C-alpha cells in the first residue's frame, strides 16, 4: 500500500480564470470550473512558489531565524526561505540565494528534501525544501529592510528544534517539515 499512497493529478475543465485582486506579493485568482457535473467557483492565492533551506552545521545544529510575520502577529522561528520571484530561476539557485540573503551563509552540499503544498484548499503555493550542509559564512553580507531588518539567527541543536515542534512551541510549516525531514535523514544515516 505504501507505494500506492500518493497525490493524484487531476484535470478539470476551467471555464474562466481571472485575477480578482492584484497584490504586492501575490494575487487572488477566481476560477470557474466543472466538477462532478456541476459548475463551481473558487478563490485562491495565486502564488509564485517558494524555497526554504534547512542549514545544518557540523555540530548537528540547525539554523533558525526569527522575524515578524504580520498575518499571525508573531515573530516566528523559521528556516531561511523566500519566493521564486526571479523569472526562470532554478529552485536550488533560489535556495542558495535565500540562504545568503537571509543568513549570510553558503553551503558546500545541497539535497532536495521535497516539495510541499502549503495550504492546498486556499493557495497554489508549493515550497521546495533543501538541506544545506558544509555551511560557512558567505563572502559578502546583505543589507536587510522591512521585516527582515531585525532578523535574529540562532544555531539550535537539531534535537532541541524537534522537541520545540513536538511541544507546539513553534508553528512555521516549512520549518516544521524541513526540521523533521532533516532529523529523519540524520537518524537513517
Residue 125 and residue 93 in contact, taking contact as beta carbons nearer than 8 Å: no
Find the domain containing 72 and state its range.
Answer: 50-188
Same domain membership, residue 151 and residue 114? yes
pLDDT of the residue at 145: 57
Residue 140 and residue 128 in contact, taking contact as beta carbons nearer than 8 Å: no
Give the active site residue among 8, 98, 148, 167: 148
For cell 532536495, name the residue: 112
Same domain membership, residue 172 and residue 82? yes
What is the number of structural domains in the chain? 2
Same domain membership, residue 178 and residue 95? yes
Q: What is the DSSP letter of 148?
A: G
Same domain membership, residue 57 and residue 42? no
Same domain membership, residue 9 and residue 86? no
Write down the pTM of the prediction. 0.90
pLDDT tens for each residue of 76-111 = 999 999 999 888 899 999 999 999 988 999 999 999
Same domain membership, residue 57 and residue 26? no
pLDDT tens for each residue of 1-11 = 567 888 899 99
CATH number at residue 91: 3.90.79.10
pLDDT of the residue at 163: 98
pLDDT of the residue at 1: 56
Same domain membership, residue 170 and residue 128? yes
pLDDT of the residue at 5: 86
**Can you tell me the distance from the alpha carbon of 6 to that of 93, in angstroms, rounded to the nearest whole number?**
27
pLDDT tens for each residue of 27-84 = 999 999 999 999 999 999 999 999 999 999 999 999 999 998 888 889 999 999 999 9
Same domain membership, residue 55 and residue 26? no
* 96 a catalytic residue: no
Same domain membership, residue 20 and residue 60? no
Amino acid at each position: 500500500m505504501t507505494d500506492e499512497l500518493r497525490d493524484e493529478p487531476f484535470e478539470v475543465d476551467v471555464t474562466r480564470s481571472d485575477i480578482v485582486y492584484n497584490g504586492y506579493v501575490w494575487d487572488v485568482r477566481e476560477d470557474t470550473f466543472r466538477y462532478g457535473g456541476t459548475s463551481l467557483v473558487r478563490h485562491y492565492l495565486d502564488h509564485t512558489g517558494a524555497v526554504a533551506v534547512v542549514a545544518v552545521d557540523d555540530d548537528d545544529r540547525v539554523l533558525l531565524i526569527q522575524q515578524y510575520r504580520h498575518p499571525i502577529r508573531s515573530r516566528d522561528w523559521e528556516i531561511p526561505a523566500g519566493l521564486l520571484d526571479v523569472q526562470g530561476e532554478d529552485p536550488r539557485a533560489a535556495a542558495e540565494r535565500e540562504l545568503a540573503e537571509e543568513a549570510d551563509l553558503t553551503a558546500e552540499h545541497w539535497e532536495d528534501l521535497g516539495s510541499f503544498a502549503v495550504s492546498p484548499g486556499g493557495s497554489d503555493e508549493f515550497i521546495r525544501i533543501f538541506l544545506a550542509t558544509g555551511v560557512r559564512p558567505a563572502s559578502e553580507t546583505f543589507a536587510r529592510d522591512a521585516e527582515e531588518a531585525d532578523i535574529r539567527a540562532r544555531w539550535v541543536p537539531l534535537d532541541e528544534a524537534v522537541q520545540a515542534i513536538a511541544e507546539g512551541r513553534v508553528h512555521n510549516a516549512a520549518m516544521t517539515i524541513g526540521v523533521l525531514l532533516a532529523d529523519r535523514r540524520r537518524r537513517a544515516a
